Every structure is written in C-alpha cells, then in structure tokens.
A and B are shown apart, each in its own frame.
Chain A
Amino acid sequence: MAVTEATGKRAKSWRENGLDGVTMLVAPALVLVVALFVYPFLYGLWLSFHPKAGGIFANYARFFGSAYQRSTIARTLGIALPATLVNLIAALPVAFRVRLMRRQRLITTLLVLPITLGTVLVAEGMLNFYGPQGWFVRTLSLAGLDAIGHLRLVHNYWGVFISLVITGFPFTFLLTLSYVTGIDPALEQAAATLGARGWERFRTIFLPLLAPGLAVTFCLSFVQAFAVFPSAVLLGQISGETRVISYAAYQAAFQKYDYSEASAIAMIMAAVQLALVVIVLAGRRLFYRGPAAGGKG
C-alpha cells in the first residue's frame, strides 16, 4: 500500500483496506461495546486508584490488610474450584456416552433448563427440595438414614456448592459435548482396529486431543463459578462461610456507596480469574494442538 498525499487517493486506499460503507455497519456495535464494556472497565481501574481517603493504593492495601476482606478470595476459590472440577470430571464420561446416542436432543434440552431458569429460581427450588423437611432429606430417611433434622444442605457451604453443580454441570457438559463430538470418529475406529481398548483409546487418542478443549471448558466454567453471587446470598451464609468476593464488591458499592473500593474489589476479582485462566492455558501448551476433526470439518 503506497502512502499518497492526495486525499482522493487516500479514500481509495481506505477502500482497498476494506473500510467502505458496509464495514462501517460494525461501528454502532463497536461504539456500544467500547462505551459500556471497555470504558467502564478502564474507568473502574482508574477509580480503584483514586480512593475516598488515602494514597493511590489505599483500596488495595485495605482489602489485603483486612483478614475479613482478604479471606473472600480463598473462600470463593474453596467453593468454585472443587465445584468446577466435580462438574468437569462428571461431564466427561457423560459426554462420551451421550455422543453415541441418536436422540441427544432430549437430554441436552433437559440440561439447558437450569441454565435458562437461572440461579435465583434454582436457589428457591433448592430451599424447598434440600431443606430440612424437603423431599431429598425425606428420601434419605426412607433409605434408613437418620437425616431429618440432622442433615443440613442449605444455608451453608453445601448449599452454594450444590447450586454451582446444578447450574454449572449443564454448562460444562454442553461445552464438553461439543468438543467430544468434534473429534473424528475414524480416529477412534482406527485405534480400535489396532486392538486398543476403551480406556487405552481414551488415554492415548481422546485425552491428548481433548486436553486443549477441556482446558478452555475448565476456564469458562471456573470463571462463572468464581463470580457466584445470588446463590451465595440465598443458599449460603453470606456473612460467614460463604461470604464470596463478588458479595464484598456488591457491599462496597451498594451498602457503603464507595464505588472506588467496589471497583478495586472487582479488579481483584478479575485479576484472580485472569491469573487462573493464564495458568491453565499455559499448561495447555504442553499438549497437542492441531486439527482433530479430520474430514468432518
């Protein structure tokens, strides 16, 4: 592309670059994302360094200086990491079975229900179902366990954990399924012809090909679980063992009206999520990356 002085030619070179009227159709969407996503994020970052009182790092110093605030990170990780791992480990074998079904649509539709209905409705249902007099506990006591009045599954850690499984498993499963079905079945058939059994085929064929996809699935599922909010309030003990980091940010913004501190906590939340994603995706490089779909496209 030659740089020219004449404006007419510059307009022509713009067009050669593809910047014509049709390209400008992307502008409204771009403006929207910049104004309502990129700018707020940068503004939040800037605001977090301009606290109501103290030096530029005062918000961060206060967050990490107070054990009450600092512990929200470990507490949130303590809920989100096990829940994400359970979901991923359960999703993998189920996806391998569902992949062979002809009528996948029924099961995928059923699993989409909790995602569509959302965490608030699931929370209300769980309060009924897993409550001290709920059907779940009653069924356990039918099976001979002395559960009624003893087993507590809501308003504590387990309430939040179960809710992350109920709403998180379908999400993890559907992503895993799309990766599993993306692998050319001919690869597995070739291995089977050569005498490899189920576990060997999984370990030597599928796992290396799936590893990058599973890493992405883990990241997306974890990031969602780490941002757990309504279920931690409704199903946990929000002032105690399930005081998660998103609630700390919410409290700062809407109870203390300290948007600067709230932004700082939101930035810390984003940083923790980003750090874990970077670690997992860095580990992904150890595995094979390349076409796995064969002729399927």
Chain B
Amino acid sequence: MSAITPTTSSLPPLRRSGSMRRAGGRAWIIAVWAVTLFFLVNLAGIIGAVVTSSLGTRWLRAWLPAGWTLRWYGSAWSDFQLTQVLTATFEVVGAVVLLAGLIGVPAAYAMARRDFPGKRIVLLMFLLPLLVPTITYGIPLTTVLYQVGLGGSLSGVIAANLVPTVPFVILVMIPFIEQIDPRLEAAARVFGAGTFRLFVHVLAPLLAPGIMAALLLVLVRTLGMFELSFLAAGPTSQTLVVALYYGVFAAGVRPEQSIDAMAVIYMVTSLIWLLIALRFVNPTQIVGRSRR
C-alpha cells in the first residue's frame, strides 16, 4: 500500500478528499491490526492460562494462583498413566512416519515422473482423504477396522492415521521431485542403476530436505490427530491427545491442575517437533492443502 498511496494522493484536484481518504485508510489499517492483535492476545491467553494453572497450587476467583508448585506434573504422570500413553504415542507416530515415508515417497515419484491412464482419478483419490473431514470417514473406517479385528489395537490406530498422511506425503513430495533434473536419473540408468539403486544413491540424497520436511509435518499432524486416533483407539492404545480429551471430558474426577499439566506435556511434545519442522518448511505448508 505504501508504494501506491503517494501516487494517488499527489493528484492535485483530489487533494482534500484525498487526505480524508487517507485518514479513513489509516483508520481501516488500524482496525485490521487491532482485530489481528485481539486474536493473538486471546490465543496467548488460552495457552497462558493452561501453563499458569498447571504451575499453581490453588487458583480460585483470582487473577493468579495462590502459590506455585511443580507437583501437578508428578501427579498427572501417575494419574493418567503417561508412561504407557507416551509409549503408545511414540509407537504410533514412529510407525506412521516410517510407513508414510516408505509408501508415499515412491508413489510421489511415480506420480511426478510417469503419465499413465487413470492418473487423474488416482490423484483425486489421493486428494479426497485430505479434503473430507476425518470424522466423516472415520466412522465408516473404524467400523471396517473393528470388523477385521484391528479396532482398539495399536495397529488399528496406525492404519487409521495412514489414511490422511500417505496422501499428504505424496502431495508434498510431487513438486520436490519435479524440480530434479530427469537427466540425472537418465545418467544413472545409463550406468546400469536399477530403480532401487537409483533411489538410494541419486534420489534419496537429492530429496533429503523434502523428505525431511514432509515427514516432520506428518509427525506434527499425527501427534495432533485427535478424531481418527480417538475413534480407532482402545484403552491400551490411547495417544496423548486422546488421553487429554478423556481427561478434559471427565473434568472433576481429577484436579484441574493435573489435567492442565498433562495439557502442557502434550503442548511441549508437539511444539518441539513443530519448531524443528519450521526450520525446514514454510508454516503455510502445515495447512497442507495443495492447490492446483
């Protein structure tokens, strides 16, 4: 805007109305930033309230808790069996990241390099799981999982989480692969490399940053994936976010500070990976919808 305002305001016949417009324009800019700031302050308040509550002794009818303590973290750990929950969480997340990479990256390579009949339909099938809300397909999906005996098990949670993540890896990787000069692959082929050796020696090193970014995003998304894990999980296969849901749902059974301590543990686990991911990717990629 600043590059354009001088041009318009320097037109002599419109001077007076121009300055009025400029005042109106400035008020509008202030209003827009005020709305943005209000949103961010609320966001900070929401996160800050959880952290404050988890560190407070007693917090009733006041701005701040009466005193400060760390004991809620200990009690949350034993109340919510966080050792078991965290083990399950990392098993699920690890398996999903590994499988989504192993299945998604080769598929993305085929999609980027080959034209085959029905490619548009295949692309649509990879897009749909990202566009349809998880709860909409989660219920039929868990019905099928329960019928084949995977419902409530760790493998069921992993299988359910692969549905949005494999297409996500494919759609993130396709543009990365398209950037690589196909002559490099042709050269490797001339020297007798098969597809497997081509992957290991040529593509993997070139694609490492892209694969890293895609898999970190899968990690962050799987940690935060509530609906699918919730529908597919049984008592022993709860991930951290599902345990948090049950904690909040049954509020009153346990002290609120204990739930907040678990919320902080969840938040820290996600944020560490988010910070690492943000070194490799643009934040907008987390929204993860590929356009065009």
Please pick, from A22, A226, A229, the residue contacting B195 in the complex, using a CB distance under 8 A. Answer: A22
CB distance from B89 to the nearest CB of A (A): 13
- Judged by a CB distance under 8 angstroms, whether B259 is at the interface is yes
B25 close to A19 (CB less than 8 A): no
For B291, list chain A residues within 8 Å (CB): 178-179, 216
A93 nearest in chain B by CB position: B32
B133 close to A117 (CB less than 8 A): no
A170 nearest in chain B by CB position: B287
Taken together as a complex, chains A and B put the C-alpha atoms of A264 and B245 apart, in Å, by 26
* Size bin of chain A's contact surface: 35 or more
Give the interface SS of chain A, mostly helix, strand, loop or mixed: helix
CB distance from A46 to the nearest CB of B (A): 10
For B113, list chain A residues within 8 Å (CB): 22
For A21, list chain B residues within 8 Å (CB): 195
Please pick, from B117, B125, B260, the residue contacting A38 in the complex, using a CB distance under 8 A. Answer: B125
Interface size, chain B (Cβ < 8 Å):
98
Taken together as a complex, chains A and B put the C-alpha atoms of A120 and B221 apart, in Å, by 14
Complex interface residues of chain B between 87 and 113 (CB less than 8 A to chain A): 103-104, 106-107, 109-111, 113
B143 close to A41 (CB less than 8 A): no
CB distance from A169 to the nearest CB of B (A): 7
B107 close to A25 (CB less than 8 A): yes
Complex interface residues of chain B between 1 and 54 (CB less than 8 A to chain A): 1-4, 7-8, 11, 21, 25, 28-29, 32-33, 35-36, 39-40, 42-43, 45-50, 53
Taken together as a complex, chains A and B put the C-alpha atoms of A115 and B226 apart, in Å, by 12
B286 close to A263 (CB less than 8 A): no
Q: Could you tell me which B residues sit within 8 Å of A by CB distance?
A: 1-4, 7-8, 11, 21, 25, 28-29, 32-33, 35-36, 39-40, 42-43, 45-50, 53, 60-63, 103-104, 106-107, 109-111, 113-117, 122, 125-126, 128-129, 131-137, 139-144, 146, 159-160, 162-163, 166-167, 170, 195, 220, 224-227, 230-231, 241, 244-245, 248-249, 251, 259-260, 263, 266-267, 270-271, 274, 278, 282-284, 286-287, 289, 291
